[in-house]
Every structure is written in structure tokens, then in C-alpha cells.
Homo-oligomer: A and B are copies of this chain.
Amino acid sequence: MDPLRDRPPRGGRRAKLHAIIFGVRSPAAKGFDVGLLVVIVLSVLTVLLESVPAINATYGTPLRVAEWFFTVVFTVEYALRLWTVAHPRSYALSFFGIVDLLAIVPTYLSALVSGTQSLAAVRGIRLLRVFRVLKLVRHMTEAKVLTAAIVASRPKIVVFLTGVLSVAVIFGTVMYLIEGDEAGFTSIPTSIYWAVVTMTTVGYGDIAPRTPLGQFLALALMILGYAIIAVPTGIVSAELSRAQPQARPRARSRRSCDECGRSGLAPDAAYCDACGAEL
């Protein structure tokens, strides 16, 4: 169920809060949105900065304080959302309901666990907070057109990816036979990794062919990748071109006047616009 329409009975405080939290037009709703946006970005930045050893050593305490502040804000937000929708359960199980819960649970969990469990587990749990970035999706209204264009091209994209992976499997296997261990092609999966790195033109250079035959095959793969990259681009371009309402040419009808023979009269014309005869 769409939480935007999952309104509580009109008139009460819950309805007003619902309009502020889930609405997008009123000044209060806009203010709430912008405030939340800022808090989301800041809270993700906190997670990122905490992972930098130098910063964590110096600013560890303020970062942890900020962290708890954001967690409280998101907890209040989550509670209000649960309280204001008419069907809390369907909200809680929706995509955004889960994202909103995921934004607060890790901090509480890490507080509970920190004493008893290993450091790695705590670290992993704390980092889950970075999924708060998904809360941003709620604010991307423009995303729908793009998503629609991608979804419409999905079958072609699946075929395209299967093709790319098949080419990568075959080239990877052949390169594994030709190049061998010393150039970094230590197994077929590693060689496939190299083939995808090459086809997508990423080109790390951690693995690179050394024999002339291997370099020749690599060239073929690069040019193939270069040509293939045109395909998804073409697909999405064509899809987007089609999605856009082209300046429609307002086709004039092919009606013509019996009196004077003038053609191209408007479909709803009652009189000829050249001689004035009734049609």
C-alpha cells in the first residue's frame, strides 16, 4: 500500500502530522523534507568519516555524539511514520519501512553487542548504517522516468548482459590457456575477471597479457567491447527518445472541400476555410 495514500481519518492531529511527513506540497511538508535530507546526508558523512583512522582518533567522541543524535532523530521519524499511517504493518513491511528501520537498528545493536561480541561483527553492524543513503530515494521524484526507460529496456539488457558474460567466459578461458600464471591469469575465474575489466574499458592493469598472441586477443576484445558499449547506450537512447512526447505534428485531416477542392481541412471544421462553403 502506498503510504502517501494510507491516510488516517481526517481532522485529528495524526492527519495533520501525516500531511507534513508524507506530503510534498505544503510549506511544512517541504521544510520537513529538506530537514530530513540534510540529516540523512550528514549521518552518512558521519559513518564515512568514522572509518578514517586519523579522523576517528581525533574526533571520535563528537562523531559518536552526532551518531546518537541522528539515531534519535531517525527513531522519532520512524515512530511518527508508524503512528500516522492508517495501517502501520503494511508500512513497516514496505521498502521504505524496512530502510527506515535499518537506519536505526545498527546503532542500538552495536551498543548492546559491543561488550560481548568480537570487534569485526560490531564493525560490520555499525557499517550497515550506510544504507541510510537509500532514504534519499524517497526524495528522487524525477527518478521515475529514468526507471521506466530502464525497465522498458530490461529484456534487451538481459540479453546484452548474457552476451557480454558469454564473451567474457570464452575469452577468459582462451587467455588462461595462452598466458598462464606469470602474467596473472592464475585461474579461469581470474581470467574472466580480466576479460570483464578489459571489455568494460576499466583496465586496472593488475593483470595484463604479455605474449604477442595474448596481446592480439586483448586487442580484439577491447575493440569488441568498444563496439558493444554502443548497444546499451543505443537501447536507452532509443527508449528515452520514444518516451518523450515528440512535438506532435497535429496532423491535419485529409478532408477537402467539395466546392473548391481545398484539402487538409480541420477534422472538426463545419465550413471550408478557403471558400466558406458549408461542408
Contacts and interface: CB of A to CB of B under 8 A. Distances in A.
Contacts of A124: 177
Copy number in the complex reads 4
A85 to B, nearest CB: 25
Contact of A234 (B140, B143, B240, B264): B240
B193 A218 contact: yes
Given A201-B201, A249-B249, A268 B269 contact: no
A278 B276 CA distance: 7
A173 B234 contact: no
Given A189-B51, A212-B189, A237-B238, A268 B249 contact: no
Contact of A266 (B169, B226, B273): B273
* Residue picked from A193, A208, A240, most chain B C-beta under 10 Å: A240
A198 to B, nearest CB: 6
Interface of A is mostly: helix
B201 A204 contact: no
A40 to B, nearest CB: 11
A94 interface: no
A197 interface: yes
Nearest to A249: B249
A150 B225 CA distance: 14
A252 interface: yes
A79 interface: no
Interface stretch (A4-12, A17-25, A66-74, A128-136): A128-136
Nearest to A248: B249
A140 B161 contact: no
Contacts of A137: 166
Given A44-B169, A271-B276, A202 B229 contact: no
Contact of A246 (B234, B242, B253): B242
Nearest to A257: B261
B247 A268 contact: no
A268 B240 contact: no
Given A47-B173, A146-B159, A271-B274, 10 more contacts: A48-B187, A130-B188, A145-B156, A203-B203, A204-B208, A230-B236, A234-B236, A250-B251, A252-B252, A271-B271
In the A-B complex, list the 4 residue pairs whose CB atoms are closest, starting with the nearest.
A249-B249, A269-B273, A271-B276, A273-B273
23 contacts: A48-B189, A53-B187, A124-B177, A127-B176, A133-B166, A134-B166, A136-B166, A140-B163, A161-B227, A189-B215, A190-B215, A197-B203, A200-B201, A201-B203, A205-B205, A229-B229, A229-B232, A230-B237, A246-B249, A263-B263, A266-B273, A267-B267, A270-B276
